[in-house]
Amino acid sequence: MLYQDEIDEINKIDETNEINKANLLMRSVFYLLDDAPYGSEKAYGVLNAAAVSLEMDVTLGLHADGVFLALAGQESRFLGVPNNSDIIYAYPEIRVIAHEPSLAERGLLSRSLVERIELMDDEMFQEEILSSDCIILL
* Alpha-carbon span 81 to 75, nearest angstrom: 10
Residue 19 banded pLDDT, cuts 50, 70, 90 = very low
Domain ranges of the chain: 25-137
25-137 has which fold? Hypothetical Protein Ychn; Chain: A, (3.40.1260)
Residues pairing with 62 in the sheet: 33, 98
Alpha helices, DSSP H only, in the chain?
A: 4-25, 42-51, 84-90, 100-105, 122-131
* Alpha-carbon span 60 to 31, nearest angstrom: 5
pTM of the entire predicted model: 0.80
Interval 13-21 mean pLDDT:
52
66 has pLDDT over 70: yes
68-105: pLDDT as tens digits: 999 998 888 888 888 898 999 999 999 999 999 999 99
